[in-house]
């Protein structure tokens, strides 16, 4: 599970070949032992749970980096490691 970004204690990662469970482009976010999945297309929470304030940060980051995330998604579902993406600052 390659880490693609980290900010404010949140780790964002993307699994390779991970296009079966949610059937849509998505990222995983981990914060203090909690995990959640968010769609890349609109930032919707797909599964799991992290604190609401942290979820909003993830959603803002997804909105800012949507193009880069889609490029990473294409790499990941092809089995290639995704590139790192700048964190929120």
- Per-residue pLDDT tens for 15-41? 877 666 657 899 999 999 999 999 999
* Interval 3-15 mean pLDDT: 95
Instruction: List, in order, residues 6 or more apart from 5 with CB less than 8 Å away.
Output: 11, 12, 61, 65, 84, 85, 86, 87
Q: What percentage of the chain has pLDDT greater than the value 90? A: 79
Provide the pLDDT for residue 84.
Answer: 97
pTM of the model: 0.91
Nearest to 60 by CA among 31, 89, 18: 89
pLDDT score, position 1:
73
Task: Retrieve residue 64's tokens.
Answer: 């800012």
pLDDT at position 22 is: 54
Domain coordinates in residue numbering, the chain: 3-77
Please give the Cα distance from 24 to 84 (Å, whole number). Answer: 20
């Amino acid at each position: 599970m390659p880490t693609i970004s980290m900010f404010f204690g949140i780790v964002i990662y993307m699994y390779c070949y991970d296009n079966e469970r949610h059937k849509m482009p998505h990222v995983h976010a981990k914060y203090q032992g909690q995990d959640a999945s968010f769609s890349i297309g609109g930032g919707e929470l797909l599964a799991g749970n992290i604190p609401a304030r942290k979820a909003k940060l993830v959603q803002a980051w997804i909105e800012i980096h949507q193009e880069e995330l889609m490029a990473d998604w294409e790499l990941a579902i092809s089995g290639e490691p995704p590139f790192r993406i700048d964190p929120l600052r």
